[in-house]
Structure 1
């Protein structure tokens, strides 16, 4: 996976050396694809059961998507906040003030997004970031890792999920950045394979366990365990895939989606709210029709993201976020090739 140079922005997917970490972008883009599959059913209110029987398509999504991508997305935001603080410490005298401003701006965006999608992720990330990450940013990395893992595992053991996992995952991601994980991706090949094999085996066992109580998926220990183990398997599997010829073909598309994560996340909601009612009546069970919409959205976003980033450094919301964070204008448009004479 290639990396590209970042201009002055404190970007959440740049390494401490200033280079973009393409694999982080690809992971974030991959997580966005899965989250869209989950969010579209929640936004449209389509029914998943009939006469206390789970319908086939939502049942498959419960086993493959629900609770699988949200942990990954949350962990990546924690890693991103850690990278941002490292970069800000090298540039500014008050780096935590910049992180606070960044989190506050994310909170405003999330609050606006809540109007269209109650239960969205950006506002909780901002709130938990202010409450948890800012104080813990002064703590040793081992302390943060212990706190993060504990506050992730305990809710899972108590059959909790969703927003309750956010603080633990954010802190865990932040601690992994303190340990230098983002800069070590290229050296993790054998370790990734081992983690993938063990997490895939654990996922298979957890899925068998979850399948014993399909109607309570999302509210049981089995589905929470399956969610975390499959999130690990998905992440390590993708990191292995991007090292292959196939991965080098799909990687740039996922990277583009990931580099414009807030823009992609919010615009997907706008598209669902705008076009979802045209295809689905209230209380509908037309899942086959419903899944056509995220497919179209992802294709449009993938094409648009690559077109946009060929001309601009950041997505629209990402650019505004950086301007507010640094409280100064940030260059948006890329320099035109000299041959064009612009």
Structure 2
């Protein structure tokens, strides 16, 4: 994701200890993620605040406190192992905090990869209405791309170019019947989330691509369906359509249900806050870390309003006013100093 969004100039592999977001020496040595790491990236004019979280159960608290402040989650699954015990735990965290999800079946290039088995496990073990919006073209060593069930096109990657380019082609002849079957299933589920589209569909009118995307988005945001995508991040195939799906189907900060952002009043009652830069400030400090160069970093998610350096804010936990010093955007363990964080932003306060 960081490579294709232009955030980094090279692709670092986890197993080589070169992944950008795994910056700790222990992470690089073991080839695993231990601590959550934040960054910001842009794709097609949209800004993403990303948090990369660990997958191992020993570091479950890192996942829990990160998921709490997110508007959407990409739930990654191993195409060979399917839904693992920690997958169930992390899925539960997202459900508890009401976070919409996209499901990404990764490692389609590995021996034993089975996309449909993985989707079936999501339905059985997670009790999720998992609906494929893509199908893999080939698998294991022969995995070369995917079929987009929304636009009914095939995307075939040019492997020698680090996945930076691909060809949009007609669906392979041997997959047309399968694609039609899963497209029909997708439409049957998606149209339920828009009455007008549903009525037109019942009258024999197939939904347009725009209408189908609108229906999928509504189902995703309300967590009544979970779109399933596929790819091989190691082989650099499927990442760009995943980013497109984040834009198309996951909510932006101003689409959060109002009741999810509340402020406690002195009388103990709660007031629902409106989302916007012009509203009073409401932010949540969700992680404290120590940096050897700048000291204490307090990671915050801004829900509404603006945090500006040099201004005073009310600390609801300590029941006192505090002055904001320096503000930084994080890129793993690197820092970019900024003067403010707006609604939807994730950053860190120094001191």
Please indicate, yes or no, whether the TM-score normalized by the shorter chain is above 0.5. no
More strand by share: 2
Q: Which has the higher contact order (CA 8 A, sep 6+)?
A: 1
Q: TM-score, normalised by structure 1?
A: 0.29
Question: Could you tell me the TM-score, scaled by structure 2's length?
Answer: 0.28
Q: Which protein has the bigger helix share?
A: 1
